[in-house]
Amino acid sequence: MKIKFIIIITYILIEASANSSGSRTKLLDIYQNLRCLVCQGQSIADSNSDFATTIKLVVQDQFNEGKDEDEIYKFLTSKYGEWIVYKPIFNKNNFLLWTLPYAVLIFGAFIIFLLIRKTKHNKVN
């Protein structure tokens, strides 16, 4: 009975610690994707400026309210524009940025396929 109790308590503590560590990692991920607008080349995670400190507080609040990463980015981009996020959000202005690498990859694979087929065809002949 005593051993069971200790196991349950240990499990709860490990779970709580893992959750807390997971939340911290998630928050850090969000900070790293946010640009410090008043610093040069620093993310919110790297900066201790007044602006970065305030943004961290706001992100923490929204995270604790249960908002997900996209909702937090949406709120901040509505206030500061898309410049505040390092990873741009997919829209009509940047669709090439997102789709071109995949298009080039598919096109490259198609060219390789054609070349291999041509080589095989030549060998047979």
Partner 1 sequence: MKINISKIIIFSFVIFCLFVFQKGLKIDNSYDTKSLIGNKISKFQLSEINIHDLYISEEDLKKNKFTLINFFASWCAPCRAEHKYLVKLSSENNEIKIIGINFKDKKDNAINFLKELGNPYNFVGKDLDGKISIVFGVYGIPESIIVNSDLTIIKKIIGPIDQIQYNEILSTIQ
Q: How far apart are CA 31 and CA 24, in angstroms?
A: 10
Smallest gap, in angstroms, from Cβ of residue 113 to partner 1? 15
Smallest gap, in angstroms, from Cβ of residue 107 to partner 1? 9
Cβ proximity to partner 1, 58 vs 106, nearer residue: 58
Cβ proximity to partner 1, 22 vs 81, nearer residue: 81
Whether the CB-CB separation of 29 and 45 falls below 8 Å is answered with no
Cβ proximity to partner 1, 78 vs 125, nearer residue: 78
Residues 41-100 that bind partner 1 (CB under 8 A): 50-51, 53-55, 57-58, 61, 76, 78-81, 83
**First-to-last C-alpha distance (Å) of the chain:** 81
Q: How far apart are CA 21 and CA 85, in angstroms?
A: 24
Smallest gap, in angstroms, from Cβ of residue 50 to partner 1? 7
* Paired tokens of 102: 């995949």
* Paired tokens of 22: 């997971």
Smallest gap, in angstroms, from Cβ of residue 114 to partner 1? 10
Q: How far apart are CA 22 and CA 38, in angstroms?
A: 29
Q: Across the strands, what pairs with 107?
A: none
Cβ proximity to partner 1, 48 vs 54, nearer residue: 54
Q: Which residues bind partner 1 (CB under 8 A)?
A: 37-38, 50-51, 53-55, 57-58, 61, 76, 78-81, 83
